[in-house]
A and B are shown apart, each in its own frame.
Chain A
Amino acid sequence: MRKLSTRRRHPIAGLLVIAFALVLAGALYSVVAPEPATAESASASEIEAGRELFLVGCASCHGLNAQGIETKAEHDGKPGNYGPSLIGVGAAAVGFQMETGRMPMAKTAPQVPVKSPNYSQEEIDQIAAYIASLAPGPSRPSDEYLDWESVDKEGVSAGGEFFRTNCTACHNSTGQGGALPDGRYAPSLVGVEPIHIYEAMLTGPQQMPVFSEEVLTPEEKLQVIAYIKQVQNQPTHGGVGGGGLGPVVDGMFVWIIGIGGLIGFAVWIGMHGTRVKKQ
């Protein structure tokens, strides 16, 4: 003890204390703070390869330094977007947009349509690394937050509660998708990869709001994914489903199959009077 107290005025002592406090605070933060679901970081060569791909395939709309290109035409007092800035969108946005084939964009439409991806997985990873190197942004989730089958019953129903409160208004209660104004739409979630559902929540593409890791922790995102997958994997209890589209389809069935079929029977009964004998 004495040793410690005599050296407390040592020139390095203050620095050591600060260093210790910083390490402690950092350690505490890493335990307490919401953990971003981060995958491994990228190498310099990967970033460089991504930059070259970017210059060839993306820069014409997003600008040579991914800073975006503004148009002269104004919209609501602000310049329009030829291609938005990608600084700070992170690897998650690149993964979502490119792996679902939304980028590069197939056509100018009210909403970017999904198509099969044009780039290989390796190339997408390189571009993602390049975009992530420009500024901090949401990174791609690690596999532990995508394993939806590991979620327990309570977790699934908790995810369902969140899904009904925040998602079904646009995506429909079983994620069949829904219409939005002016030709835009909330896409169907049927058959979408868990990682893309995750990244969509994280980055909020197009019409979708952002659910950051602070608003909705990675565990909760996994629960939402688990609910979507579970509810879509349920057998269609009660026979052929109307595609989960609700009463409009039911009404069609009633008139075409129900009334149509029974009128067929009525005609048949009406034709067979007792006195109508076949010769």
Chain B
Amino acid sequence: MATDTYTRIEDSAAGQKLAGPVGWLDDRLGLAAAGKKNLRKVFPEHWSFMLGEIALWSFVVLLLTGVFLTLWFVPSMAEVTYRGSYAPLYGIDMSEAYATTLNISFEVRGGLLIRQIHHWAAAMFIAAMFAHMLRVYFTGAYRKPREINWLIGVGLLGLGTIAGFSGYSLPDDLLSGTGLRFVNGLVRSIPLVGSYIEFFVFGGEFPGTMIIPRLYMAHILLIPAILLGLIGAHMLLLVYHKHTQWPGPGRTNDNVVGYPMLPVYMAKAGGFFFVVFGFLALMGALIQINPVWVYGPYNPAEVTAGSQPDWYMGWVEGAVRVMPALESTFFNRTWTWSVFMPGVLLMGVLFTALGLWPFIERWITGDDREHHLLERPRNAPVRTALGAAAISVYLVFLIGGGNDIIAIKFGMSLNAITWFVRIGIIVVPIIVFMVTKRICIALQRKDNADLTHGYETGVIDRSPSGGYAERHAPLPDGDQFALTSARERLPQLESEKPAATDEGGVRNPKFRKQSLRHKAREFYFDGSVDKPTSHEMDHAAEHLEGAGEHPVAQGEDFKGISHWGVPGDHEDH
């Protein structure tokens, strides 16, 4: 440690100058009390905790660039004749919304750059929310007390998707109009009320003249306002709950090991904002996104091959594309199942499942304790496998959504891809579930082996009889603690099996519910390996005693192989 001499801030020159204004502010705003607590707030350090930050900063970039775009964009479906500088569309009749988007792209200085940054930021916003949500899911960070924050997150994801869609539809080009038509179809497919909702939303028959101004209002006012409010609540709860941390030496369920908000995270998060902004600006400057001019103005009679939604709606598109035609007529009405089921119902199922999952898991595990230490994905094999299966569902549907692009780029048959998706959507998740679960259990066993038999040092002993054996050394204490402290003991499932009747022969009134829950528990904990008992650990310590010593001098530099598989003398660097 260097010399710890420093000047107290009130004695420094800057401190004396600032004392007046800061005191003035404190008298009026009470900053000292609030600041003292929150500026010293400690956050743990890990790269995966910054995924949500990417989403947050993308949202800030969206607000900044969005304000610029509103200065030039006219959300009107009134017809104008294009007289701008993009020659291939000269003299074409189009809506004012499309004309002003072209104007932003070709005439407004820096307009195309800002438009592209805005679009990249939108795609990034939702991608980062997905990545963040997956991190939270796979580490069990949504467990008590953070269920409500998880629900807010699900709301943010849904609203972000709607925000993205409404923005995609605003330029009124052929692609965005096609997307709007797709959603129009989804709305219509809702049984009984569909056509009424359609007329309510569109102000009459599609496309009408109202939808662009209405979407504009939603896109720049309603949805961002709700998003902002939810983001505020999300962050407040984060501060209130304290951030979760990975288990490790010195880290328990009751503390947070990390750095204070000021100055460390102020600098890191602030810096990361500029990194995200810079990244998005680079993408906006270098990579073309949504070239609205090549699509031409929207016209319900036209469509272009390769029409696709932005990636986050791609799975719904895929589901609709591969769904076999299914329609029935009763009560004198058409029930369009082939649109309703893959479109509306599937999205409903996704968001319902996301919202309910923490509560379903709690019902299964019966776990009512608070969790501030994250769980490694391998230690909840079924949760991890379900998550991986859900990702595979998403990807298989995405293949369906891009089936025409895949067919043309890889010279494949469109119908073959459609059938692959139809079968794959059932088979692939099951395989992914089983494989992931087995991998998790294998990794649990690997942890147990490391704990009870030590890690492989890379030191090979030759016995006098000529046999070879690799020397094992006990894991460092810190690693042993990290591997075991946050790992839950498995329940004794056999002993808690419910009985239909008690020993007196009286019928158990809750038997059905209990046995359902018991089956769920058996499914959830099936195959999981318990962490070693203290008896096993003692036995291991005895067994490994003296393993660090070596009969032949290795030289001072030799440190064997660490438990990460890295030569020991590389570990410090």
Q: Does B286 contact A (CB under 8 A)?
A: yes
Q: Which of A153, A181, A259, A279 has the most chain B CB atoms closer than 10 A to its own CB? A: A259
Within B253-307, which residues are at the interface with A (CB < 8 Å)? Answer: 259, 264, 268, 271-272, 275-276, 279-280, 283-291, 293-296, 299, 301-307
Interface residues of A (CB under 8 A from B): 110, 153-154, 156-158, 160-161, 164-165, 168-174, 176-183, 185-186, 227, 230-231, 234, 236-242, 244-255, 257-259, 261-263, 265-267, 269-271, 273-275, 279
Q: Can you list 15 A-B contacts with CB-CB less than 8 angstroms, sorted by A residue number?
A: A153-B91, A168-B303, A173-B306, A181-B415, A238-B289, A238-B291, A239-B285, A241-B288, A242-B288, A244-B294, A246-B405, A248-B314, A251-B312, A251-B314, A266-B54
B294 to A160, Cβ gap below 8 A? no
B311 to A183, Cβ gap below 8 A? no
Q: Does B309 contact A (CB under 8 A)?
A: yes
Q: Which residues of A contact B175 (CB under 8 A)?
A: 173, 246-247
Q: Which residues of A contact B294 (CB under 8 A)?
A: 173-174, 231, 234, 244
Please give me the residue from chain B that is nearest to A257 by CB atom: B283
Min Cβ gap B303→A in Å is 5
Q: Which residues of A contact B92 (CB under 8 A)?
A: 157, 160-161
B287 to A176, Cβ gap below 8 A? no
Expressed in whole angstroms, the Cα–Cα distance for A250 and B91 within the complex equals 30
Min Cβ gap B105→A in Å is 7
Q: Find B311's partner among A110, A161, A237, A248 (CB 8 Å cutoff).
A: A248
Closest 6 CB pairs of A and B: A251-B311, A178-B305, A179-B407, A270-B47, A183-B413, A266-B50
Q: Which residues of B contact A230 (CB under 8 A)?
A: 87-88
Expressed in whole angstroms, the Cα–Cα distance for A180 and B306 within the complex equals 11
Q: Which residues of B contact A266 (CB under 8 A)?
A: 47-48, 50-51, 53-54, 272
A178 to B51, Cβ gap below 8 A? no
Which of B121-129, B136-144, B529-537 is the interface stretch?
B121-129
A258 to B279, Cβ gap below 8 A? yes
Expressed in whole angstroms, the Cα–Cα distance for A230 and B116 within the complex equals 23
A254 to B306, Cβ gap below 8 A? no
A267 to B305, Cβ gap below 8 A? no
Expressed in whole angstroms, the Cα–Cα distance for A3 and B412 within the complex equals 81
Q: Which residues of A contact B54 (CB under 8 A)?
A: 259, 262, 266
Known: A185-B407, A244-B294, A255-B127. A172 touches B47 (CB 8 A): no
Min Cβ gap A67→B in Å is 32
Expressed in whole angstroms, the Cα–Cα distance for A19 and B285 within the complex equals 72
A177 to B305, Cβ gap below 8 A? yes
Min Cβ gap B261→A in Å is 13
Min Cβ gap A158→B in Å is 8
B407 to A273, Cβ gap below 8 A? no
Q: Which of A164, A236, A238 has the most chain B CB atoms closer than 10 A to its own CB? A: A238
Q: Which residues of A contact B289 (CB under 8 A)?
A: 238, 242, 250, 253
Q: Find A160's partner among B105, B296, B307 (CB 8 Å cutoff).
A: B296
Q: Which residues of A contact B279 (CB under 8 A)?
A: 258, 261-262, 265
A169 to B405, Cβ gap below 8 A? no
Expressed in whole angstroms, the Cα–Cα distance for A173 and B88 within the complex equals 12
Min Cβ gap A233→B in Å is 10
Known: A110-B413, A237-B288, A259-B54. A247 touches B116 (CB 8 A): no
Q: Which of B91, B279, B305, B308 has the most chain A CB atoms closer than 10 A to its own CB? A: B305
Expressed in whole angstroms, the Cα–Cα distance for A236 and B405 within the complex equals 20
Q: Which residues of A contact B116 (CB under 8 A)?
A: 238-239
Q: Does B221 contact A (CB under 8 A)?
A: no
B299 to A183, Cβ gap below 8 A? no
A176-B305, A245-B306 known; 6 new pairs, CB 8 Å cut-off, are A160-B296, A173-B175, A250-B123, A250-B290, A265-B272, A266-B51
Q: On chain B, which size bracket covers the interface?
A: 35 or more
Interface residues of B (CB under 8 A from A): 45-51, 53-54, 87-92, 105-106, 112-113, 116, 119-120, 123-124, 127-128, 131, 174-175, 259, 264, 268, 271-272, 275-276, 279-280, 283-291, 293-296, 299, 301-312, 314, 401-405, 407-408, 411-416, 572
Q: Find A251's partner among B49, B271, B310 (CB 8 Å cutoff).
A: B310
Q: Which residues of B contact A181 (CB under 8 A)?
A: 413-415
Min Cβ gap B344→A in Å is 21
Min Cβ gap A37→B in Å is 24
Expressed in whole angstroms, the Cα–Cα distance for A165 and B298 within the complex equals 11
Q: Find B286's partner among A110, A174, A240 (CB 8 Å cutoff).
A: A240
Expressed in whole angstroms, the Cα–Cα distance for A107 and B305 within the complex equals 26
Min Cβ gap B104→A in Å is 12
Q: Which residues of B contact A267 (CB under 8 A)?
A: 47
Q: Find A173's partner among B51, B123, B128, B174 (CB 8 Å cutoff).
A: B174
Please give me the residue from chain A that is nearest to B413 by CB atom: A183
B408 to A177, Cβ gap below 8 A? yes
A263 to B293, Cβ gap below 8 A? no
Please give me the residue from chain A that is nearest to B407 by CB atom: A179
Min Cβ gap A269→B in Å is 6
Known: A170-B305, A173-B296, A258-B120. A238 touches B112 (CB 8 A): yes
Expressed in whole angstroms, the Cα–Cα distance for A270 and B54 within the complex equals 14
Min Cβ gap B559→A in Å is 15
Min Cβ gap B367→A in Å is 29
A237 to B308, Cβ gap below 8 A? no
Expressed in whole angstroms, the Cα–Cα distance for A239 and B105 within the complex equals 13
B414 to A183, Cβ gap below 8 A? yes
Expressed in whole angstroms, the Cα–Cα distance for A109 and B405 within the complex equals 19
Q: Find A236's partner among B288, B310, B311, B415 (CB 8 Å cutoff).
A: B288
Q: Which residues of A contact B401 (CB under 8 A)?
A: 248
A186 to B305, Cβ gap below 8 A? yes
Q: Which residues of A contact B90 (CB under 8 A)?
A: 153-154, 156-157
Known: A160-B88, A178-B408, A255-B127. A246 touches B306 (CB 8 A): yes
A245 to B268, Cβ gap below 8 A? no
Please give me the residue from chain A that is nearest to B418 by CB atom: A181
